[in-house]
Structure 1
Amino acid sequence: MIENQYLIYTYYGVTQGEESESVIYKAARRTYLDFCRRISFQGKISIEQKYESERRIEDLLMKELSSLFQVRGQEEFDEKHHAVCQHVLQIYDRICSQTYGIAQRWVNQTLLHLVVIEANLHTDYWNIEDTRKYFHVPVEQYVLEAATSKRKHKFQNGLNLKSAPLKHDRTENYEMGWFYPGEIQPAEFWDYPEYIEFQRAVRARIWSVFPHTYRDCLCWAFQAYLEVSRRRNI
């Protein structure tokens, strides 16, 4: 439908029939615009250096994300996903180190955008239909709040998981707790151990408790984000 094409073009700049690598590049660019204010740089980093790192990461995702649509199981997806995140961090290491929380946002949010684009344009470039069940949820505050709020019926899409990392300085000392503003570690400061523990907890809860409510973890993330966001904006 032309309305779907209009929607995707106005938000992503993607047109029907555009090449697959270009679509990924624009989805990655949208991701950066979504969360760039969460990226902090220590020391004096020039505008040119920041711009160059952004372009390098967008180029990286354009080339490497397609491998995530070829996996045949969760373990394989997790391994390839981790490798892409590490490559994102290596790009940042050239100017200023960043955390896994930043890398996962680049990867997971871009995958989410590609799901939205595919649902509207039906490009058939990637095997999203069969592989999205392995996708990780983008970790940001609204999704984290829905997943880890202590009060069971606070959110219709709440998971009631005690899986929010409490504030800590050293990764090896992290402890999981309930969501509470000011007491949890912001997602942009997460490292891999707390990240993968959170992902596994979300995955296990959805498959064991809500197998008929959500198609997959990403389906839950869409609904959870919308619910919390709408409540915050009332």
Structure 2
Amino acid sequence: MVEVVKSRRERMREQASEEIKAIALRLLAAGGPDAITLRAIAREMGMTAGAIYGYYATRDELITTLISDVYTSLVDRVEAARDAVPADDPAGRIVAWGEAVRDWAIAHPAEFRLIYGDPVPGYQPPPGGPAVAAETRACSGLVGLTAAAWPHAKKHQSGGDTTWSEFDADLVAHVRASFPELPPAALGLALRIWGRMHGLVALEVYGHLVPQSRDPAKLFHLEMLDLVRSLGL
């Protein structure tokens, strides 16, 4: 395989693009979504605002890139945590996924808020959303965890009257193609698992949990243990 060597100009362009994204995330962390402007980024880089347009044509293009990169980073982390646990340990894999979500979110609170919380004023995402590939991986991962647990979980779950019509059509099509053996109740369970993983994390990231709990990591771990017990694992 022939290695492609990038030119100095290409390397410098990549470095500048990465610096733009890093500054945008710092602005987000310091001032919230309103603080992300191409003019502010240009000022920090010592460039003219017009020069930034050579890298990102619009602020929306930059925001889309940020969301995609951030979401991909999160999915990389949770997939690696899951895969470090044997496939025949569905409980361990669920706990590992959840713990990885929290660890990443606490280390990257601004990024967590970017993809799961604060909307960026005026931002118009592209058709299909800003991070389709990452969202699909996250969905497949969570439904896959549920599918592995379903043989044990189904007898502990209500929702036998759940129908596919209760869910988004595109989501249903993806799940039925990837996991044809799962009933609609299992998809509902996957969404509830997602909710339990993200609930305490969101409270902690937004500062609503720490005053009440001196050990939020322990609280979250106990929630994950309770979750897998509720699945019969």
Normalised by the length of structure 1, the TM-score is 0.30
The structure having more radius of gyration, on CA atoms, is 2
The answer to which structure has the higher helix fraction is 2
What TM-score does the superposition give when structure 2 sets the normalisation length? 0.30
